[in-house]
Amino acid sequence: MHTDGQVDEPGLPRRVLERRQQTPERRAESNLAQKPTQDFAGQPFQQGHTAAVNQTLGRKLAMTAKAEAATAAWLVDTTISRAMPWEAFTQTAELDADQDLYCVATWGIMSVTAAPAFMKNSPGKATLKLLPRGKCVGVSMSVRMAWPLSFVAETLTVWHDRKYSTEFYRSDAHRRGTEALRGRVEFRVRRAWVKAADLPLPGDVRGTQALWNAVKRGEHRMVSEEKKEGFNSAQPVIPT
């Protein structure tokens, strides 16, 4: 029997009994002294190891939350309000009205502080104009502010053939821009087949908005509907 009136319980280890008699302060000190010395892989902790693990985990969680927020914003963004008029590199009169053309609508969201870097590094109309005739049919672009303190940039391009789009998005110019913006911009993309008859006339603002909204709302045949493509047309990746 203990002098403080507590009675030993038969079968309990002495360390358990001793812990019961500790003050809360002493128990906390004991917990700190018994913290693990190895990580989950059985490797010994180095100085600062725990802090580094926590920082890495924190960054991953933040990136996941950022990506999920971007996807949610992209999915509900089904209209375009401020689009630059359609700029044609191939005149509509030169196209067969029933011809299928490959359309790519890219959407990127970033903080306002990343906007200058985007404008500097992202290939724009000037790069498209340098492509050989017969590759890119035309383009429209849109930029706007979004809440909270975000910047949204969109590009809609139409191509004579999907292979020309793939060439452009895998080009050195586009790859350099992507690398410069890695981690700063969340990109999403829709791919669809449009008819030449759906294209607006050059400078037609309302026609440009109509084409863009139809693509955003899925009114055109999406690329994902063709099994041979093997990917989802609305996946968050750089377009091809």
Please say whether the structural domain 77-229 has been given the CATH code 3.30.70.100.
Answer: yes
Sorted by sequence, the CB contacts under 8 Å of residue 97 that are 6+ apart come out as: 195, 196, 197
pLDDT, tens digit (0-9, with 9 covering 90-100), for 26-79: 655 565 455 555 544 455 555 555 666 667 767 777 778 888 999 999 999 999
Distance CA 223, CA 227 (A): 9
Say which range, 15-29, 130-144, 147-161, 175-189, has the weakest mean pLDDT: 15-29
pLDDT, tens digit (0-9, with 9 covering 90-100), for 192-201: 999 999 999 9
Q: Per-domain residue ranges for the chain? A: 77-229
What's the whole-number mean pLDDT along residues 188-214? 95
